[in-house]
Amino acid sequence: MSDAPAIEAVSLATLAGGRVLHRDLSLTVHRGEVLAVVGGSGSGKTVLLRTLSLLQPPAGGQLTVLGQDAARLDAGGLRALRRCIGILFQQGALFTGLSVLDNVCLPLAEYTGLSLADRRELGMLRLGQAGLPADAAGKFPDELSGGMIKRAALARALALDPELLFLDEPSAGLDPVTAAGLDELLGDLRDLLGLTVLMVTHDLDSIARVSDRVAFLGRGALLAVAPVAELAASQEPEIRAYFAASPRDFGKPTCRPA
Ligand SMILES: Nc1ncnc2c1ncn2[C@@H]1O[C@H](COP(=O)(O)OP(=O)(O)OP(=O)(O)O)[C@@H](O)[C@H]1O
């Protein structure tokens, strides 16, 4: 495995609806870490996720993903790199006309030459990894609870054995117990599969449970990146206001050498 960071963004600019949203954003995501991305509504968390996951091109700067400079890749190179990336979208984004197993097998059909039988076998493995029982395979999305939809979408995101997993508000709409179960699963998968995880979220409990560091977006920029306890103790007004709105104990920030 390369020693390069999972993601390296240098002076990145992002675009939303034809206008520049973030300017001069520099961020390193280390291999194997869970990085949470937070910030107020409209601060551009989803746009950043879409840019870093190569769903949309940057408006400027440099973006290196898994050691590859995105700007230097042709269509084939981009497609090969995208194969190493799994994404769980905000609402799950499952195809309602397909069974859970068929949803999970879609990326396998698109990106691999596996036979139908092999795709289905691998799809069942992914369902199990995402914590779904085997009998969920034949169900349709509208027969699933919110937590099961997230797990089915997670299984699909894991289909191609990605190195990088992007999650857009994974615990949104889930009850606290289900959300905690999903966090535990994410931690286990990170350890088991060696995943690097970038998670957009508003859920401070989830951040406390699973994140190694937190990136805070505001005013069109990245205002800070730090472990949550350090961030919660920040004196930066926007960050203070964010954490003051829902106070909780994240423990003491650890002292780090300068
Ligand atoms: N396709 C688009 N066309 C026009 N504007 C867009 C588009 N996508 C995003 N935006 C705008 O970019 C800004 C950031 O959107 P984004 O969804 O990334 O914010 P967010 O931080 O994820 O918000 P939330 O926490 O509410 O989900 C918003 O002002 C949004 O309206």
- 200: helix, coil or strand? strand
Test site for ligand 1: of 45, 51, 202, most ligand atoms within 8 A of the Cβ: 45
Tell me, using a 6 A CB cutoff, whether residue 43 lines ligand 1: yes
- CA-angle at 188, arms to 187 and 190, nearest 5°: 65
Tell me the fold of 31-57+76-245: Rossmann fold (3.40.50)
* ipTM of this predicted structure: 0.95
Written as tens digits, the pLDDT of the chain (258 aa) is 467 899 999 999 999 988 999 999 999 999 999 999 999 989 999 999 999 999 999 999 999 999 999 999 999 999 999 999 999 987 768 898 999 999 999 999 988 888 999 999 999 999 988 888 899 999 999 998 888 898 899 899 999 999 999 999 988 888 888 888 889 888 888 888 889 999 999 899 899 999 999 999 999 899 999 999 999 999 999 999 998 887 777 777 765 544
C-alpha pair distances (Å), 19 with each of 86, 200, 254: 27, 21, 39
Tell me, using a 6 A CB cutoff, whether residue 55 lines ligand 1: no
Calpha distance 206→34 (Å, rounded): 11
